[in-house]
Chain A
Amino acid sequence: MSIWKNIITFGNFGRLEDDIKIFAYRRSILEEIVKEYDIAMFSQKKAFTILNIEREKAIKNLALFKSIIKKIKKNVQDNIAIKVRDKKTDSNNFTNYGSIQSFRNNLPDLNVDEFSDVFFIKVQSSISALGAKKEIDKNDLIIHGADVAISAMVNFLSATISINRNVIEKRRLIKDKTLDISDSVKSIKDSFPIIYAETNRVGEIALLLNKNNFIFTGKFIELNLLVHSKSHFYQFIDFLQDIRFDANEDVKKKIIFLGQICSEYNKINVLKV
């Protein structure tokens, strides 16, 4: 059958079949890329969320450090060196090249079944009509039968021409869609390394902050037990009377250590996301 089709379309049908195969292959690959891209974007979002949480915790830790200092010193001024820059917007402005939604929606689509079958039905019907008319004509009216045969031939030729035109059009369409796939792949190829690098950077900072928060929390719990060892009632009385805590060497060491962690926060912050 495909020989027939190739003869009618002067070989274009064979080329069309090749184009469809290329298109289907590339489309399947793009689909997989989009799936991976989707997973990557989810990871990116998660990394940024964790970064934001770590930042908030860091800000709280600084406030806690300040509260401990206030427990010992009367006048504590805000030290720029131990401040986490409280601009969450910095970290929220993460790059989102070509949203995943658009890639997913613009996946080129093609009904291959329609291409291969539907428009050949016409040719088949023309040929079958030619055969059927001939049989009837042999028995009855030879002249009338010849007329019908000629008209069937003419129909067959016109159908062949229109099919040729259709095959060329469909080939152009498939080529356009294949080009669309190439564009999408190029866009992902260009943007993904940036997203990847950015996410890695975010991850590094978030991990550093997390590490500091981890150490700070551990040390602060120890220090807190020392500084606030009294019962709530006495603590409240001290709070009202604004009584300072008399820090011993051990406490001072711990405070200095916490101060170092706080200065680490600042260093991390200098590394812009």
Chain B
Amino acid sequence: MMTRFYAWTFNSIILASMLFLLISCSGMTKEEKLNQVILYNLRVDSLFLAGNYSEAIDLANKSIDLIDTIPETYVLKGRSLFEMKSYQAALKGFSKALELEGDSSRAFFYRAISFLELEDTDEFLDDLNHYIMIYNNDTAALIARANYYFKINEHDECIKDYLKIFSLDSGSKFSILRLAQSYSTLGDNIKSIEYYDKFTLLFPGDEVKEIEFIKAKLLLIEKNYNTALEKLLGLSEINYPNDKLNIFIADCYIGLNQNEKSVEFLSSYIVSHPYDYMQIEKRANIYNVLGREQDRDKDILLSSQIKWEDRSLFSKYFLIVLFLVLLFGGSFLFNKHLPQVYDRKTIKKAYLYFLIWPLGFHQIYLGFSILYFVTFIAKAIFVLLISFELNYFILNSDLFLKSIELNLFPYQLFKFLLLLFILDFVTLSYQVFISNLNERKLENINLIDSRAKALSDSLQIMQNSNERIKVLISKI
């Protein structure tokens, strides 16, 4: 029985070995495999170019299964993964290619841009610098590095790279434009204009108007007002759609001391942008130079009003409300009214308080707390309503009255308060007399009597408690 089992096992092993050899012998030779891989890679490349990335990856994997030591396959796979935004997987593929190919591998570039996508900028720069050191004429790599420098505002480095690109390819639209932008950012407007000129010369098209506008702005900064104005007026004639065109034309006229014309263009801008307080202030300054004081004042008021409306509710009213609260609280601290005799002398004192603090100090002195409270509320509402004027008064005291003209001043409340104020002043002596009468008011006699009874009751309760406590203590 056992011997039969062993014989069966032995036969099975021999059969399996033979099958294995048979399958092995049926595989490709090394050369055939290589050819197959080349074919695969060509196919991967074409799939990649066609944008069929997932198929390209599958085929690249098949190629790797056949021979896993060809760096090109890993690069192709990595690029497809990169396009599918699997940056981490792409990075692994490029690293594998670098491992196989060594320092001169082009995979450094691809790995660098993968690092950039993963926001590892140090590794990005390391790989890219290494790559550019070996392939120093590769414009794609130079553009990648220059763009990075442009993005992080290192315009000196950016210019170096773009100049290199420009020397390699003088027709590079992108590099000329970036050079112009970088020089402008660095403040070298002349050079910037130079490159913008090159751009318009090489690529005359729709962008020319925009480039002309930028050039005009740069010329304005360089105080070359005439040329700038010429360009801007040219753009204005062809109705170039830019909101700020009129501002720049006005600036040019200001530079050329043609203030009337600058006002004209600023005004047309302000009509379409009525809340741009900076331009309104600018126009106010021009009016000042022209001696048109009335217009100047109006503009200053208008800009102040816009600024006031822009402010948050808290910053508008915080100080005023705090002031009112302190005033109200502080007044009531003085309101610890002790009985006193008001005679003719106190009339003088009441007037003195009235003159020192007409917001109601005399009312507190005379013990009219309710009257003080009511009038204080009315006054507080008035102060809050004219808070813009108050704010304006603090900033520009000379134009306070004009600000009243411009705004909806609460005249009715003001007149009412003025009337109260005058009435208060006129009737102050009578108020003192009334206060004296109030002081003479006595409480009801019955009330005094009831207090006495309540007191007697309390004392009686106290006595009872005393006796009871004594008894209770004795029980312990």
Q: Do A and B interact? A: yes
B465 close to A (CB within 8 Å)? yes
Q: Please state if B430 and A53 are interface contacts (CB–CB under 8 Å).
A: no
- Distance of A213 Cα from B445 Cα, bound (Å): 9
Q: Please state if A29 and B445 are interface contacts (CB–CB under 8 Å).
A: no
- Which among B430, B445, B465 is the interface contact of A40 at CB below 8 angstroms? B465
- Which among A196, A207, A221, A228 is the interface contact of B456 at CB below 8 angstroms? A207
Number of A-B residue pairs at CB separation under 8 A: 125
Chain A residues, Cβ within 8 Å of B347: 240
Q: Please state if B461 and A43 are interface contacts (CB–CB under 8 Å).
A: yes
B458 close to A (CB within 8 Å)? yes
A189 close to B (CB within 8 Å)? yes
Question: Contact flags (1/0) for B421-442 with A, using CB distance below 8 Å?
Answer: 0000000011001001101101
Tell me how far the C-beta of B412 lies from the nearest C-beta in chain A, rounded to whole angstroms.
33
Tell me how far the C-beta of A193 lies from the nearest C-beta in chain B, rounded to whole angstroms.
8
- Distance of A199 Cα from B341 Cα, bound (Å): 34
Tell me how far the C-beta of A30 lies from the nearest C-beta in chain B, rounded to whole angstroms.
8
Q: Please state if B430 and A210 are interface contacts (CB–CB under 8 Å).
A: no
Tell me how far the C-beta of B366 lies from the nearest C-beta in chain A, rounded to whole angstroms.
14
- Which among A40, A199, A207 is the interface contact of B452 at CB below 8 angstroms? A207
- Distance of A213 Cα from B442 Cα, bound (Å): 10
Q: For this complex, into which size category does the number of interface residues on chain A fall? A: 35 or more
Instruction: Tell me the interface secondary structure of chain A in the complex.
Output: helix
Chain B: CB-nearest residue to A189: B473
B16 close to A (CB within 8 Å)? no
Given A44-B462, A67-B439: A60 in contact with B339 (beta carbons within 8 A): yes
Size of interface on B: residues with Cβ below 8 Å to A: 37
Chain A residues, Cβ within 8 Å of B339: 59-60, 63-64
- Distance of A211 Cα from B465 Cα, bound (Å): 26
- Distance of A181 Cα from B338 Cα, bound (Å): 48
Q: Please state if A236 and B458 are interface contacts (CB–CB under 8 Å).
A: no
5 smallest A-B Cβ distances: which pairs? A40-B465, A67-B341, A60-B339, A63-B339, A43-B458
Binding site for A on B (CB under 8 A): 338-341, 343-344, 347, 429-430, 433, 436-437, 439-440, 442-443, 445, 448-449, 451-452, 454-456, 458-459, 461-463, 465-466, 468-469, 472-473, 475-476
17 inter-chain pairs at a CB distance below 8 angstroms, sorted by A residue, are: A30-B476, A40-B465, A43-B461, A43-B462, A43-B465, A46-B454, A47-B458, A60-B439, A63-B341, A67-B343, A70-B341, A185-B473, A203-B458, A207-B452, A210-B455, A228-B440, A240-B433
Given contacts A50-B454, A64-B442, A181-B476, 16 further A-B contacts (CB under 8 A): A32-B472, A33-B472, A37-B469, A39-B461, A46-B454, A46-B458, A47-B458, A185-B473, A196-B462, A196-B466, A203-B462, A214-B449, A221-B442, A239-B433, A240-B347, A242-B344
